[in-house]
Amino acid sequence: MAVPARPVLLTGASGALGSMLAAHLSEVGFDLVLTDIKPFPGPLPLRARFERADLCDRPAILALGEGCGAIVHFGGVSTERPFDEVLGPNIGGLFNIYEAARLAGARVIFASSNHAIGFHERSSPLDADCELRPDTYYGLSKAYGELMGRLYWYKHGVENLSIRIGSGFPEPKDLRTLSSWLSYADLARLVAAALRAEEVGCDIIWGASANSRSWWRDDARKRIGWAPRDSADDYAAAFAGIVSDDPITERYQGGHLCARDYTRTRPPP
């Protein structure tokens, strides 16, 4: 599919992943409307304009969505925070995004997270239709986002694709990320493919590169014509045998966020 005629709204455009995506999508020919609560870090890419906005400001978000053919939603709280800090941007703000998409007839590409399923054990390979097991308030907000997508698909026909991002960094950072790493280049190609696809319906893709240690299996990647090209395997020697001393961190796919504020005396069976 050719580049869509209508512009793409990219939220969270001032963050590390958002600014990377802004540069890539501009380079491959997309017209962009960029937004974030923070100023854009540096010169704007070609074919892009920036408007500062808060995700919780519904009139502003609805106005930004007018005329857009897709919304790439990378905005909001991007790590674990107290519930009240997650609630506004990641719950209320997401509702505003989906309302903007409904009114504009736009597709949504949602930056979900592996922390929506973080309390699955590392010994259990998962398909995309696995049970949601969030490991934090942040992960809970991502699980909510995936369910919001289902609601808007079945009730309003809003196409949406949730990308369960593993570990989106320039390079793997530790032993866990040898399983979960998503290179910037693979993410950029994934988002571009999701925007170009003829249809995405309502589906999920594991946001991970071609890592031989991956815990994740079947998803919608063939449907949109994307396959990762990079792999964390090239970095494996640097982390051989390095593990934490926390059994909860090492047991679950969500890693240290599973162990954060953990109060059980023993894991569930």
User: What mean pLDDT, rounded, does the chain reach?
Assistant: 96
DSSP state of 91: I
What is the average per-residue pLDDT within 255-265?
A: 97
pLDDT digits (tens, 9 = 90+) for 196-237: 999 999 999 999 999 999 999 999 999 999 999 999 999 999
pLDDT digits (tens, 9 = 90+) for 113-142: 999 999 999 998 999 999 999 999 999 999
Closest CA to 203 of 155, 164, 156: 164
Task: End-to-end CA distance of the chain: give it in Å, rounded.
Answer: 47
Which amino acid belongs to residue 266? Answer: R
pLDDT digits (tens, 9 = 90+) for 26-73: 999 999 999 999 999 999 999 999 999 999 999 999 999 999 999 999
| 136's tokens | 């934090």
Give CA–CA dist 157/150, Å, rounded. Answer: 9
- Structural domains of the chain, ranges and CATH numbers in brackets: 8-259 (3.40.50.720)
Catalytic residues: 138
Number of neighbouring beta carbons within 10 Å of residue 148: 20
pTM for the full predicted model: 0.96
